[in-house]
Amino acid sequence: MSGSKSSVPAAAAEAEPLSFTVHGVGVPDLADRRQVRNGRLKMIAVLLVCAAPVIASYFTYFVIRPEGRTNYSALVTPPVPVPATLAMKGLDGQPVRGESLKGQWLLVSVAPSSCDARCERHLVLQRQLRETLGRDKDRLDKVWLVTDDAPLRPELAAAVSAAPSTTVLRVDRQALSAWLQASPGRSLADQLYIVDPMGNWMMRTPEDPDPARLKRDVERLLRASSSWDEAGR
């Protein structure tokens, strides 16, 4: 009898650790899954909150109030975000991330460093248009994307660096095609490109754009985004 009594506690002692081990592994695993799921939902909610003003302003501008309105520039649908991997560099050779362009409305021209007559007209148009925006001019940046590594002519370098300076960045033409594209039958240098503060390319001008009509496009965009866009990056 004594032998049978002593064997029962021994069996129970062997069973109890196994029972605790099973429960101890299962509970934290379920809690971790819930935590990950809740974290993802919170991240999605934050992104939606951040994007809501942009979506609302575009919806109001292009959907709710389209009466009597024709855009001079072509709307890009869907807008194309600037690739995070787009390799660029300043005139000093230092690398610049594509995401650094976010935070401001951009009027972008594209041309090689030789900058022919059309390129010069675009650079002048960028400067003149910005200055005619009055108190909203600080919400628009002028950007020239240079598609080669050759040096700029001294007089051209002085012109783009004069205040308010133009942001000049070098970028590989092929890599740039992952973001900006010209109209069929046109080259990138033929047109100008409008980018919103989220880094989305969303409009493309006609070839050799009319300054007055382009200005109306830009003014409408600035007005539609006034609730969420501020000057400066």
CA 37: distance to chain centroid? 27
Both 86 and 56 in one domain: the answer is: no
Q: What's 98's domain CATH number?
A: 3.40.30.10
Separation of alpha carbons 109 and 104, rounded Å: 16
User: Given this model, what pLDDT does residue 71 score?
Assistant: 85
User: Given this model, what pLDDT does residue 216 score?
Assistant: 95
User: Given this model, what pLDDT does residue 10 score?
Assistant: 46
The answer to the question of residue 232 being in a domain is no
Number of domains in the chain: 2
Rounding to the nearest 10 degrees, give the CA dihedral for residues 109, 115, 120, 123: 30
User: Given this model, what pLDDT does residue 84 score?
Assistant: 86
Both 41 and 129 in one domain: the answer is: no
Residue whose C-alpha is closest to residue 147's, from 169, 165, 121: 169
The answer to the question of residue 229 being in a domain is no
pLDDT digits 0-9 by tens, 11-35? 444 444 444 444 444 455 666 666 7
The answer to the question of residue 231 being in a domain is no
| Structural domain boundaries, residue 114 | 71-222
The answer to the question of residue 83 being in a domain is yes
Both 88 and 192 in one domain: the answer is: yes
Both 137 and 58 in one domain: the answer is: no
Pairing of strands 200-204, 74-81: antiparallel
Segments in the chain below pLDDT 50: 1-26, 63-65
**H-run or E-run covering 142:** strand 140-146
